[in-house]
Amino acid sequence: MAIVSNTVNYLDGDTLLQAFFAYDDSFEARRPAVLISHAWGGRDEFVNDKAKQLAELGYVAFALDMYGQGILGANPEENATLMQPFIDDRQFLQQRINAALYALRLLPWVDDSRVAAIGFCFGGLCVLDLARMGADVKGVVSFHGLLFPPENNRDKPVVAKVLALHGHDDPMVTAEQVQAFTTEMSDLKVDWQLHSYGNTVHAFTNPEANNPDFGTVYNAVADKRAWQSMKNFLKEVFV
């Protein structure tokens, strides 16, 4: 096994974006692909590492870029400034992630009939919106993602299966938002799952998260359980 990784530029309109991709070059055939959407700080080593891990599982992994080539936030204030335009304009968010999906499908190793997406925090919201816009993907997985719906695409058919992996004590996602999300998914007749991890807050998959006052704390047990749930889900949707 040899994991090959590199960056690739792509466009959303006039905006130049840079993704990180990884795949196992010991496979010759086209294979399923997983789009990875980053947290509010931008495409960083955390999602790049997730791409390599997914490549080891036999997928083509594509860590997208929502902000622009090389743009990363340095602190929560900068991260919030980068994220907010997409929160305010969900059609803009959906356009940007759809550009990444298009770029992923152009990679020569990808079976473009078998694509899924995963996302972390803000990225979880992004992949849920990818499903909400009716994108032709097999499934989406939100890790401690924001769950509140957009104003647009309220009644659009969702073809993707949905898995939301949520910290029960996440201060950034209220119990009311969780209930509204499950109602939304049920009303749309989505094949959905919600896994809620007890004694777990936001950003529980990130080993660098260590700010209890802000509500972001790594939880190794929940991280392991969530990753296993994702692996099971991907096997299911790619059958």
pLDDT band at 92 (very low <50, low <70, confident <90, very high): very high
Instruction: Give the pLDDT score at 8.
Output: 97
Q: Quick: pLDDT tens for 167-196.
A: 999 999 999 999 999 999 999 999 999 999
What is the pLDDT at residue 211?
96
pTM: 0.97
Query: CA-CA distance, 13 to 218, in Å (whole number)?
Result: 37
- CATH number, residue 90: 3.40.50.1820
Q: How many domains does the chain have?
A: 1
Using 50, 70 and 90 to split pLDDT, how confident is the model at 137? very high
Q: What is the residue range of 211's domain?
A: 3-237
Q: 161-167 and 192-197: which strand pairing? A: parallel
Token duo for residue 202: 């936001």
Please give the average per-residue pLDDT across 146-160, as a whole number.
90
Question: How much is the pLDDT for 156?
Answer: 85
Q: In sequence order, what DSSP letters do the residues of 181-230 get, joined into one string?
A: HHHHHHHTT--EEEEEETT--BTTT-TT-EETTTTEE--HHHHHHHHHHH
Q: 6-48: per-residue pLDDT in tens?
A: 999 999 999 999 999 999 999 889 999 999 999 999 999 999 9
